[in-house]
Structure 1
Amino acid sequence: MTTCNSHPSLKDEDQEDLDETVCNREEDGSINNNPRKMVSPAAGEHPLQYNYTFWYSRRTPSRPANTLSYEQNIRQIGTVASVEQFWKFYSHLVRPGDLTGHSDFHLFKEGIKPMWEDEANKNGGKWIIRLRKGLASRFWENIILAMLGEQFMVGEEICGVVVSIRFQEDILSIWNKTSSDQVTTSRIRDTLRRVLNLPPNTIMEYKTHNDSLKYVTLRTWHFLVI
């Protein structure tokens, strides 16, 4: 298991700030500075169907979002390959509800970046659920356990999940590979309702990554013109 990895482009003080923000480090010194180490289950552990990587991002809301700034602000913090590795790593992470500012946790299959332009994501989309403050930690845990436990039953369609902490609300989303596959997207929606025990009147929005990219591009151009 790799945990809370250093990012080669970070200065030491930046990495320290990242570690303190997302990791509770007081127990066994599990910070590991080898981001290229191959991750596999240890003897006797229960392997996950896929390896998963945790990511963290934080940015200033007043700055226009674009691909370059987003990639500069996202940090890979650890990869897990077994149930035991997941719980050991997860116990060191700050809960989403305790994050401040404009912050995001991402949990994606290893090899898939939580970016619209990634090869696995570019033809996909995401289901979005907006949460009132105070619910993010519980809903985040429920959705990642459902994903790790393969409860969505849609083959390899699931790419990852994101929890976004904002000032007025929090946002939960699950990403899949093929936005045009309505049977799959409907099954993901129905499974979300079940595993999160959502009330029938909960508003859920499906948005393609292509639409998201067009919006950000337009917004960035508008910002530059002004």
Structure 2
Amino acid sequence: MNNKFDALKDDDSGDHDQDQSSPKDSEKIKIEDDEKEQNTTKKKVTSSFLLQMAVPGAGEHPLQYNYTFWYSRRTPGRPASTQSYEQNIKQIGSFASVEQFWRFYSHMIRPGDLTGHSDFHLFKEGIKPMWEDDANKMGGKWIIRLRKGLASRCWENLILAMLGEQFMVGEEICGAVVSVRFQEDIISIWNKTASDQATTARIRDTLRRVLNLPPNTIMEYKTHTDSIKYNTSM
């Protein structure tokens, strides 16, 4: 684990909020959801986090890359075109330092507390979590299907490893996704170059290690080109 994350991982003191006064409800935003999930969206991210530029603050620990959190939700069984998907995905905000990451993460609902057909996405700033994005279109993703109850822990371990540059594949990593479904949850990590087998193998092995997966865990690699073909053929 990157040392700067070791120093902050268990920091629940709230020191990272010391510059924030208690904002009024009208100054807060929350992840949009349907009425049935209002109780899961109690934790809110202040609008000041959304408006700030993604640059490290004084004395903060900068990340190697800036990142953006996204959220999406759709009705299962309804075909999702590229246009409708792009309209449905919501940007939560961007960050450039360890401290800024924790400001977001500590206020966000954990994947295990979401219901329905919901997704959290964490991608490098400037990359949309879409197959068609220029940074993604020649790449693919490793997919792991999880039984219910494991998504929150696996998601946290995955994104901390990604932010801490544990995959050691240069600029290949684009982002990660956790998908909450009714009977299972799915996590995936996206990379730029699907044809680079050495890189995809290293990502697979690192993913297995950081998630402490059993040896018999099924891991599937799927190219975004195949995903696009499958989606358009339906």
- TM-score bracket, normalised by the shorter chain, equals 0.7 to 0.9
The aligned residue for residue 23 of structure 2 is none
Structure 2 equivalent of residue 104 of structure 1: 119
Between the aligned partners of 2:55 and 2:78, the Cα distance in structure 1 is: 39
Query: Which blocks of at least 5 consecutive residues in structure 1 are unaligned?
Result: 1-11, 220-226
Q: How many residues align?
A: 203
The one-letter code of the counterpart of 1:116 is W
Helix, strand or coil at the partner of 1:185: helix
Change (3 A) 1:123 1:23: farther
Task: Give the C-alpha shift of residue 35 in structure 1.
Answer: 5.3
Partner of 2:93: 78
Which segments of structure 1 move beyond 2 Å, counting only runs of 4 or more? 19-23, 33-38
Query: Corresponding residue for 2:129?
Result: 114
TM-score (norm 1): 0.85
Q: CA deviation at 1:80?
A: 1.0
Letter in 2 for 1:140: W
Q: CA deviation at 1:131?
A: 0.1
CA apart distance, 1:195: 0.5
> Which residue matches 2:164?
149
2:61 pairs with one of 37, 46, 56: 46
Q: How does 1:185-200 map to 2 (within 5 A)?
A: 185-200=200-215
Query: What SS does the aligned partner of 2:209 have?
Result: helix
Q: Give the Cα separation in 1 of the matches to 2:164 and 2:82.
A: 31
Distance change (3 Å), C-alpha of 1:129 and 1:79: same
Is the 2:166–2:206 Cα contact (8 Å) retained in structure 1?
yes
Task: Give matches, 1:20-99, under 5 Å.
Answer: 22=41, 24-25=43-44, 30-32=45-47, 37-99=52-114
1:133 paired to 2:148: yes
CA separation in 2, counterparts of 1:17 and 1:137?
17
CA distance in 1: counterparts of 2:49 and 2:206, whole angstroms: 36
Does structure 1 conserve the Cα–Cα contact (< 8 Å) formed by 2:30 and 2:43?
no
Give the distance between the partners of 2:107 and 2:31, measured in 1 at CA: 15
Shift of 1:23: 6.0
Runs (5+) with no aligned partner, structure 2: 1-25
Helix, strand or coil: the match of 1:116?
coil
Residues 42-100 of structure 1, C-alpha deviation per residue, up to 9 Å, x if partnerless? 10000000011000000001211221111111000011110111112100000000001
Q: Secondary structure at the match of 2:155?
A: helix
CA 1:45/1:35 → structure 2, altered by over 3 Å: closer, same or farther?
A: closer
Aligned match for 2:184, one of 147, 169, 185 = 169
Partners of 1:17 and 1:83 in 2: how far apart? 22
Does residue 18 (structure 1) correspond to residue 32 (structure 2)? The answer is: yes
Aligned equivalents of 1:59 and 1:18: distance in 2? 11
- Answer yes or no: is the 8 Å Cα contact 1:97–1:134 preserved in 2: yes
Q: Deviations over 1:141-178 (max 9, x none)?
A: 00000000000000000000000000010000000000
Q: Which secondary structure state, in structure 1, belongs to the residue aligned with residue 54 of structure 2?
A: coil
The DSSP-based 3-state class of the residue aligned with 1:105 is strand
Superposition RMSD in Å? 2.0
